[in-house]
């Protein structure tokens, strides 16, 4: 599949992108080479190749969900210029 200037203009109009003629020439050339490569990939025989979802051939391990606050609240609050017991105090930003 080759991409010409007319298709590039049509796509740029749909995407609301302004392109000058120099960029559209370059883009048409680049997209054509990408589509040629995709056509080469489509010619490969992948009949005996199973789809791959992970490079590891083992199922994911399940773990128990635990709620953990990290026990670092005091360290975090040390960075605050103003604090109120367990919370940050921030200025009001409503106008």
What confidence tens digit (pLDDT) does each residue in 42-90 have? 999 989 888 887 788 788 788 888 888 788 888 888 888 887 888 888 8
How much is the pLDDT for 14?
93
| Helix boundaries (H) for 1-95 | 5-14, 21-42, 73-77
How many beta carbons lie within 10 A of that of residue 11, not counting itself?
15
Whether residue 10 contacts residue 33, with contact meaning beta carbons closer than 8 Å, is answered with no
State the Cα–Cα distance between residues 92 and 25, nearest whole angstrom.
53
State the Cα–Cα distance between residues 38 and 11, nearest whole angstrom.
19
Domain boundaries, the chain: 5-42
State the Cα–Cα distance between residues 19 and 32, nearest whole angstrom.
17
For 9-31, how does the pLDDT look when each residue is reduced to its tens digit (9 = 90+)?
Answer: 898 999 998 888 888 888 889 99
State the Cα–Cα distance between residues 88 and 93, nearest whole angstrom.
15
State the Cα–Cα distance between residues 89 and 92, nearest whole angstrom.
9
């Amino acid at each position: 599949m080759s991409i010409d200037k007319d298709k590039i203009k049509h796509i740029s109009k749909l995407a609301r992108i302004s392109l000058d003629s120099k960029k559209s020439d370059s883009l048409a050339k680049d997209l054509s080479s990408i589509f040629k490569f995709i056509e080469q990939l489509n010619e490969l025989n992948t009949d005996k190749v199973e789809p791959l979802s992970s490079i590891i051939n083992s199922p994911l391990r399940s773990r128990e969900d635990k709620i953990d606050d990290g026990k670092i609240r005091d360290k975090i609050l040390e960075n605050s210029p103003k604090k109120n017991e367990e919370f940050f105090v921030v200025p009001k930003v409503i106008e």
